[in-house]
Amino acid sequence: MASDLEKSAKEAFIDDHFELAVDLYTQAIALNPQSAELYSDRAQANIKSGNLTGAVADANKAIEFDPSLYKAYLRKGIACIKLEEYQTAKATLEIGAPLAPHETRFAELIKECDEKIAEEADVLPTASLEKNITENVIPAEDVQPVSQPSNQVTVATVKPKYRHEFYQKPEEGVVTIFAKGIPAKDVNVDFGEQILSVSIDVAGEDTYHFQPRLFAKIIPEKCRFDVLSTKVEIRLAKAEALHWTSLEFSKDSPVPLRVSGQVVEAPRPSYPSSKPKRVDWDKLEAQVKKEEKEEKLDGDAALNKFFQDIYKDADEDTRRAMRKSFVESNGTVLSTNWKEVGNKKVEGSAPDGMEMKKWEF
């Protein structure tokens, strides 16, 4: 069954029905999920249909299953060049070239990458170079014609089952995929110069793919991701401090703004409001205590303040002595010695010129 789908896919490709070819390869992969050839061929169909990030993801899968498959490196390199990821393309092509010494397109594409990288660095070659880059023509050995067309196949469109969100800071962008309870071993994330490739492959379920071409370039080695209990959080290290107007690249996107230095928010307008102001009670209490401490008192107020400070800082025996002596003497004696007043009643002592009187109720 998988071989029949593969033949139908190749026929669709020859007839320039690239999207149908992708769908047929997808069905064949479902029946033979570890076929490097199927992934490589679907990468080729994705390139032709314009799904470049999908092509890179398929080529990565093909390389994972068969590291010696030179066509996978070639197709990944072509897709990356079309995505203007020249550093990634060059590194991929340099790995694949020794696997197929007869394939001249490797050298030609590597040369194109070098020129593009030099242009990006504003260091143009001094000599006038003529570009004789071969078009991305599918070699005859890659495609086997089929004598008779196959029956029509109905392809179902699968809606992405995980929601994602994006927010950013000046130095990084954060992509959150809300996938709950996914084991970390089932999540694969690849970073390119301007590509994010995410796949979630849970046993018994359809594989989830998310492969956007990013708004601007990133630094792959500084990017990371975490698989949490309710989501997959992906942090993209921006190559430049630019404000991305969206996660995905679009030719219609406005020119990005460079973020330099500290971002300062514009002051918010002030409007009359009936909302009560928030009071910092801790700060207010500290201020009152400070004012009380610095307040200068005189007369009885100063004396009372003095005794209050003694009582506040005293130990328990001293406090008991002060309470007992003050109460029993009707406020005329204040002792701090518990040993002296603890075992006897404290008699009142009238000031000079006055006498104590007992009141009967």
Place of tokens 């393309």: 89
Structural domains present in the chain: 2-120 (1.25.40.10), 163-237 (2.60.40.790), 309-350 (no CATH)
Sign of CA dihedral 276, 277, 283, 289: negative
Per-residue pLDDT, 346: 81
CA gap 254, 250 in Å, rounded: 9
Neighbour order of strands in the sheet with 187-191: 187-191, 196-200, 208-210
Per-residue pLDDT, 76: 92
Collapse the DSSP code of 115 into the 3-class scheme (helix H, G, I; strand E, B; otherwise coil) and give the result: helix
Per-residue pLDDT, 238: 92
- Quote the distance between the C-alpha of residue 106 and its chain's center: 36
Per-residue pLDDT, 194: 85
Distance from the first to the final alpha carbon of the chain: 114
Place of tokens 């209050």: 308
- Determine contact, residues 210/183, Cβ cutoff 8 Å: no
Collapse the DSSP code of 256 into the 3-class scheme (helix H, G, I; strand E, B; otherwise coil) and give the result: coil
Per-residue pLDDT, 356: 67
pLDDT means per 10 residues, the chain with 361 residues, are 83 90 91 92 92 89 93 92 88 92 91 88 48 44 47 50 88 91 90 87 85 88 91 92 86 61 48 57 73 63 72 83 81 82 80 66 47
* Exposure on the CB side of residue 17, measured as CA atoms within 13 A: 14
Tell me the chain's radius of gyration from C-alpha atoms: 40
54, 57, 59, 65: CA torsion to nearest 10: -140
Which residue in 52, 27, 67, 93 sits closest to 249, CA to CA? 52
Residue 172 phi/psi, 5° resolution? -155, 160
- Quote the distance between the C-alpha of residue 205 and its chain's center: 26
- Quote the distance between the C-alpha of residue 358 and its chain's center: 83
What secondary structure letter does DSSP report for 257?
Answer: E
CA gap 131, 118 in Å, rounded: 14
